[in-house]
């Protein structure tokens, strides 16, 4: 909209500025009173929960009893703090779950159907690397050739004949000669 099409404001600029400053002053005053209220509430709660300590003139046994009492109070406060922390974490998890549900309900993101594209290796390299690759790349030329050694297989013969041939000194001489 241009200047001529905008409707005229019913409040003058000076009046609008006056109202803004008045609102800001009121908000500042409310913030100050809120801080003071929180501070007094905190002081009252601390005075109620933790009475002032009077350690002078106490015996060792009284001090030990006081320490036990303070430890019990600390344990109670720690249990309350743990319970509150568990509730907070549960509520945060619930909030994130609800946010996820909200985004799902607003509209599911539909993934478009992908089409299969037939492309050669040279064209793919050209698309990925740009104009760096000018000649076609022969992938098979860069592969190493591996020679497989044939495993020596022993001939399977009748074991009874082998036992008779190897018995005695002649068999031991044959084994000795075969080893060299």
More confident residue, 133 or 88: 88
C-beta of residue 170 within 8 angstroms of C-beta of residue 154: no
pTM of the shown model: 0.35
Q: Answer yes or no: are the C-beta atoms of 89 and 97 closer than 8 Å.
A: no
Euclidean distance between the first and final Cα of the chain, in Å?
106
* Residue 88: pLDDT over 90: yes
Lowest mean pLDDT among 88-97, 103-112, 136-145: 136-145
pLDDT tens column, 62-87: 889 989 998 998 999 999 999 999 99
Reported as a single tens digit per residue, the pLDDT across 110-141 is 667 777 877 777 777 777 777 655 555 566 66
């Amino acid at each position: 909209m241009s200047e001529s099409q905008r409707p005229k404001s019913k409040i003058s600029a000076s009046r609008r500025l006056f109202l803004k400053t008045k609102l800001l002053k009121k908000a500042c005053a409310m913030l100050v009173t809120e801080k003071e209220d929180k501070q007094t509430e905190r002081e009252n709660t601390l005075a109620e929960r933790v009475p002032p300590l009077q350690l002078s003139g106490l015996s060792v046994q009284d001090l030990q009893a006081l320490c036990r009492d303070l430890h019990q109070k600390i344990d109670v406060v720690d249990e309350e703090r743990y319970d509150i922390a568990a509730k907070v974490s549960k509520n945060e998890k619930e909030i994130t779950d609800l946010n996820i549900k909200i985004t799902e309900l607003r509209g599911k993101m539909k993934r478009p159907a992908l089409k299969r594209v037939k492309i050669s290796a040279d064209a793919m390299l050209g698309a990925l690397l740009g104009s760096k690759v000018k000649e076609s790349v022969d992938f098979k030329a860069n592969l190493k050739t591996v020679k497989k050694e044939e495993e020596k297989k022993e001939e399977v013969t009748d074991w009874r004949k082998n036992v008779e041939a190897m018995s005695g000194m002649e068999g031991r001489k044959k084994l000795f000669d075969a080893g060299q």
